[in-house]
């Protein structure tokens, strides 16, 4: 299948520390989407990356798409307790949106 | 604007029972899909539809049926529930990539938490 691997599976940080999750594919991606799911909630779309080497920022969140379009990362600067949740990458192709396994982030105050 | 509405929110079934999970959206989205979410396995695509009258299988379609008679509704049917189908089910919708709106973000419902005993 068109697997998208995500690491780490889980990370626990102290508030104020940085956090990064990585998404890797064995094949070239046409695009990558990122979603956030709060505990007990549903996935919410954050952003989409399409171009090789693309970098987008949303306040403390920085999203990158690799030059070879086979990997992507989400970096959160100075985490806050509101960042708690699971972050998913997802690839859209052939009419299907396939999700990575997600990275669960826990932030302690 | 309600967005994507899923009913019921919770359900407990016995093995062998049948059930339909409802999903409705009011955004005139052509594309709709169903996912199941299990701990440590992310979201896995069950079935999807690019428009009324058109459905296709996702990654894990076995044990589930769908139909799309209208743009708004996309019900998911479990014909004979099994314990392995205990999960959280999410419905999502978006514009279809074949209408010139490629790679659209998905809008998710709040989910149905299903337990099968």
Which pLDDT score, from 0 to 100, does residue A36 have? Answer: 98
Alpha carbon A108 to chain centroid distance? 20
**Residue of A7, A8, A40, A43 best to disrupt the B interface, most CBs of B under 10 A:** A43
Across the strands, what pairs with A34? A47, A89
How close A52 comes to chain B (CA, Å)? 16
Q: Which residues of A touch B (CB under 8 A)?
A: 1, 6, 9, 30-31, 33, 35, 41-45, 48, 50, 88, 92, 95-102
- Sorting pLDDT into bands at 50, 70 and 90, what band is B39? confident
Residues 6+ apart with CB under 8 A from B39: none
Q: Which chain A residue has its CA at the smallest distance from B4's CA?
A: A42
- Which H or E run includes A87? strand A85-93
- Rounded average pLDDT over B80-94: 96
Residue A82 · residue A74 · CB < 8 Å: no
Q: List chain B residues with CB under 8 Å of A41.
A: 110
pLDDT at position B115 over 70: yes
State residue B101's pLDDT score: 47
Q: Evaluate if residue B99 carries a pLDDT over 60.
A: no
Closest by CA to B7, choosing from B32, B20, A102, is B20
Chain A interface includes B111 (CB < 8 A) = yes
**pLDDT band, residue B1 (cuts 50/70/90):** low
Is the CB of residue B74 less than 8 Å from the CB of residue B91? Answer: yes
CB B19 within 8 A of CB B77: yes
Judge: B90–A43 Cβ closer than 8 Å, yes or no.
yes
Q: Rounded CA gap, B6 and B50, in Å?
A: 19
CB contact under 8 A, B59 and A98: yes
Q: Determine, for residues A50 and B103 on separate chains, whether the beta-carbon distance falls below 8 Å.
A: yes
Burial class for B20, CB neighbours closer than 10 Å (0-12, 13-18, 19+):
middle
Mean pLDDT, residues B101-116 taken together: 88
Bridge partners, residue B102, by sequence: none
**Would you state the pLDDT for residue B104?**
84
Per-residue exposure over B80-104, b if at least 16 CB sit within 10 Å of its own CB, e if not: ebeeebbbbbbbbbbbbbeeeeebb
Q: pLDDT digit of tens for each residue in chain A (109 aa)? A: 557 899 999 999 999 999 999 999 989 998 999 999 999 999 999 999 999 999 999 999 999 999 999 999 999 999 999 999 999 999 987 788 999 999 999 999 9
User: Is B97–A95 a contact, with Cβ atoms under 8 angstroms apart?
Assistant: yes
**CA A4 to CA B42: how far, in whole Å?**
11
pLDDT at B97: 62
The answer on pLDDT for B7 being more than 60 is: yes
Contact assessment for residue A79 and residue A13, using Cβ atoms and an 8 Å cutoff: yes
Report the range of poorest mean pLDDT among A22-26, B22-26, B28-32, B36-40: B36-40
CA distances from B76 to A40, A62, B10, B49, B112 (A): 21, 36, 15, 12, 11
**How far, in Å, CA of A43 to CA of B110, rounded?**
9
* Contact between B108 and A1 using a beta-carbon 8 Å cutoff: no
Nearest residue of A to residue B98, measured between CA atoms: A95
């Amino acid at each position: 299948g068109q697997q998208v691997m995500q690491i780490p599976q889980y990370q626990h940080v102290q508030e104020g520390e940085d956090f990064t999750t990585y998404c890797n594919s064995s094949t070239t991606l046409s695009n990558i989407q990122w979603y956030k799911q709060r505990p007990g909630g549903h996935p919410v779309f954050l952003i989409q990356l399409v171009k090789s080497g693309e970098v987008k920022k949303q306040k403390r969140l920085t999203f990158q798409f690799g030059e070879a379009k086979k990997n992507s990362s989400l970096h959160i600067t100075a985490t806050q307790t509101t960042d708690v949740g699971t972050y998913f990458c997802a690839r859209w192709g052939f009419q299907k949106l396939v999700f990575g396994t997600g990275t669960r982030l826990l932030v302690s105050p | 604007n309600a967005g994507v509405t899923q009913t019921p929110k919770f359900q407990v079934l016995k093995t062998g029972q049948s059930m339909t999970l409802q999903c409705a959206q009011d955004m005139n989205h052509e594309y709709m899909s169903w996912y199941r979410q299990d701990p440590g396995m992310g979201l896995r695509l069950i079935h999807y539809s690019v428009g009324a009258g058109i459905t296709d299988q996702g990654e894990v379609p076995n044990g589930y049926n769908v139909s799309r008679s209208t743009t708004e509704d996309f019900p998911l049917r479990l014909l004979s529930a099994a314990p392995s189908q205990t999960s959280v089910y999410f419905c999502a919708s978006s514009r279809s990539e074949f209408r010139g709106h490629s790679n659209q973000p998905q809008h998710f419902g709040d989910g149905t938490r299903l337990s099968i005993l």
